């Protein structure tokens, strides 16, 4: 199963992450298929740089985001672009 998750790069005490698509069984800093963005938690506020078109493409292919990446996608409103009709239906139900 493909997973969209964070891959730590950067030095000790100064974390910096790449948002990557990888096989679920690979280690955190192991090989990855595609890099789709960056996350810097040390800036105020934390910086997220994301290639939305590639993220949407991978989500449509069935890749599952990890919990931290899911939160980033929700803040950037990525899920509404993947399944716009489902989001509209959810809003009408409320």
Where do the domains of the chain lie?
A: 2-93
pTM of the model: 0.81
pLDDT tens-digit map of 52-81: 999 999 999 999 999 999 999 998 888 888
Which ranges of 18-83 would DSSP assign to H, the alpha helix? 52-60, 67-75, 79-82
| Phi, psi at 83, each rounded to 5° | -130, 75
Q: Which residue has the higher pLDDT, 28 or 20?
A: 20
* CATH number for the domain whose boundaries are 2-93: 3.30.1320.10
3-state secondary structure of 9: strand
* pLDDT for 25: 93
CA 26, 58, 73, 46 dihedral sign is positive
Q: How far apart are CA 34 and CA 87, in angstroms?
A: 27
**pLDDT, position 38:** 95
């Amino acid at each position: 199963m493909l997973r969209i998750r964070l891959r730590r790069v950067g030095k000790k005490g100064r974390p910096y992450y790449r948002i990557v698509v990888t096989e679920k069984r690979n280690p955190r800093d192991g090989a990855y298929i595609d890099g789709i963005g960056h996350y810097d938690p040390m800036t105020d506020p934390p910086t997220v740089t994301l290639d939305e078109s590639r993220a949407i493409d991978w989500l449509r292919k069935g890749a599952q985001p990890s919990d931290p990446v899911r939160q980033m996608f929700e803040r950037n409103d990525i899920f509404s672009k993947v399944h716009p009709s489902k989001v509209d239906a959810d809003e009408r139900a409320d």
